[in-house]
Amino acid sequence: MRPKPECRISNKVYPPPAAPEATWEYRIMKLNLFCSFLRRSILLIRYSAVRFRASLDHSRRFQLKTLKTERGTALVLTLLVIITLAGLTLGFSGESGVELTLAGYSKDNARAYQLARSGVEIALEVLARDEDFKMDTFNEEWRKFGSVPLAEGVMEEGVSYYGGMIDENSKININLLRNSQGEIDEKREAQMRRLFTALGVKEERLNPVLDWLDADDIERQDGAEGYFYQNLEEPYACANGPFLTVGQVFLVRGMREFERFGEKRTKKLMDFLTIYSDGKININTASKEVLESLGENMDSALAGAIVEYRKEGEFESIDDLRNVAGMDEDVLSEIREWITVESSTFSIEAHVNCNGAVASIRTVAQKQGNKAKLIYWQVL
C-alpha cells in the first residue's frame, strides 16, 4: 500500500489532511461537476442530434437531388435516343423519298424521251405521206406537224408536247459559200451580202464568216483568221472549212450578237441559214429577206409581192412567177438557177414535258420520193 505523503512547510511536520471524499464541500463540488457534465452532455447530445438531423436532411436532399438528376439524365438520354431514332427514321424516309423521286423522274425522263422519239417518227411518216412530190407549200400536212397528236391516249394530265417542222430549202446554205477548191464562190458571196443587207446587217460583218470558211490564212478587212481566235480568253481554232452545225456560225467573230437581233430582238440568224439543203430556195416557203437576196434586181417590193401572191395561191412551177406583179423576164432569168418549188430537206423538233422531265430532239430529214431518212439527230 502506497504511504500517505507528508506536507512539509519549514521544518514543522503537520499531519496529512483528511481525504476529499470525506468532506461535504468536495461532495457538493463533485455534484456540481456532475451536473455540469450532465448539462454539457445533454447539450452535446442535442447538438449532435441537430447535426445528425441536418446531416440526414442534407443526405435526403442530396439523394433526392441525385434521384432527380438521375431521372433528368435518364429523360435526356431517352430524348436523345428518341431524336436519334427519329433522325434515322427521317433519314431513311428521306433517302427512300429521294430514291422514289429519282426513280419517278428517271421513269418520266425515259417516257418523255420515247414520246419525243415518237414525235420524230410521226414527222417522218408525215413527210413520207406527201403525195405531191413536185411541190411543197405551207398548205401541206408537214406544216401542221406541231399540232399532230403523238399517240392515242398519251396526252394525259402532266404531259405536254409541242414540235414543228421547218423547210430547210427556205434558207440559204452558208456552207455553199465555199467551193470544192476551198475558195469563196463570188455569186454565193454576193447573195449572202444581199441577205445581210435585207436583214439590216452591215455587209462587212460577213468577212469573218468568209475567213472561217476559206482555206487560206489571209485575213480580210474586219475579218478574223486563226491568230484572232487563238488570242481569245478562251481560245479555239478557226476551222478554215465548212460549218459542222448551223450553231457554229456563232463562233465566228462578231456573229454572236446576231443570235437574236432587230428592233425587238425577234429576228434569229438561224431562221435564214442552213447547212443541209442543196442550195435551191423554195419560193413557196422562203422568207421575204431570203427572196430579196436572190438577185441584184430582186428588190424588197418584188420580194414582198411574191409573199403576197402566196397568200392567195401556190407556185406549182417556177414559171408561175410571171403572175406576180412587177416580175419581168430579166429578173426571172437571173434568179432561175437559184430557185425551186419543191423541198428535199426538213428539220424536225419534238419537245415533251412529262411531269417536269423534259426531252427535246432536233433532227434533219431528207425526203426521197415516198420515203424520208434522217441525216442528223441531236438530243437537246
Amino acid at 248: Q
Going from the C-alpha of 55 to that of each of 37, 61, 63, 170, 353, the distances in angstroms are 26, 10, 12, 107, 80
Amino acid at 112: A
Q: Is the dihedral of CA 151, 127, 112, 268 positive or negative?
A: negative
Measuring CA to CA, which residue among 114, 111, 136 is closest to residue 126?
A: 136
**Domain residue limits at 213:** 115-379
pLDDT of residue 300: 94
In a domain, 90, yes or no: no
Q: What is the number of domains present in the chain?
A: 1
In a domain, 26, yes or no: no
pLDDT of residue 281: 97
| Torsion angles phi and psi, residue 103, rounded to 5 | -65, -45
Question: Is pLDDT at 284 greater than 80 in this prediction?
Answer: yes
Question: Is pLDDT at 52 greater than 90 in this prediction?
Answer: no
Question: Is pLDDT at 255 greater than 60 in this prediction?
Answer: yes
Instruction: Please state which of the ranges 85-89, 107-111, 221-225, 293-297 shows the lowest mean pLDDT.
Output: 85-89
Place 143 in a pLDDT band, splitting at 50, 70 and 90.
Answer: confident
pLDDT of residue 8: 36
Answer whether 290's CB lies under 8 Å from 172's CB.
yes
Question: Is pLDDT at 147 greater than 70 in this prediction?
Answer: no
Percent of the residues in the chain that have a pLDDT greater than 70, as a whole number: 68
pLDDT of residue 65: 52
Question: Is pLDDT at 177 greater than 50 in this prediction?
Answer: yes
In a domain, 368, yes or no: yes
| Average of per-residue pLDDT across 65-80 | 57
Question: Is pLDDT at 20 greater than 70 in this prediction?
Answer: no
Give the Cα separation of 52 and 49 in Å (integer): 5
In a domain, 245, yes or no: yes
In a domain, 50, yes or no: no
pLDDT of residue 103: 56
Mean pLDDT of the residues in the chain: 80
In a domain, 45, yes or no: no
Q: What is the CATH number of the domain that holds 345?
A: 1.10.40.60
Q: 89-132 pLDDT, tens per residue?
A: 555 555 555 455 555 567 888 888 988 898 898 889 888 887 77
In a domain, 163, yes or no: yes
pLDDT of residue 274: 96
Q: How far is CA 167 from the centre of its chain?
A: 31
In a domain, 350, yes or no: yes
Which residue's entry shows cell 468532506?
23
Pairing relationship of beta strands 281-282 and 7-9 according to DSSP bridges:
unpaired
Measuring CA to CA, which residue among 235, 233, 213 is closest to residue 223?
A: 213
Higher pLDDT: 102 or 207? It is: 207
pTM (predicted TM-score)? 0.70
Instruction: Give me Rg for the CA atoms of the chain.
Output: 53
| Average of per-residue pLDDT across 353-376 | 89
Q: How many CA atoms, within 13 angstroms, populate the side-chain half-sphere of residue 277? A: 26
Higher pLDDT: 31 or 345? It is: 345
Place 162 in a pLDDT band, splitting at 50, 70 and 90.
Answer: confident
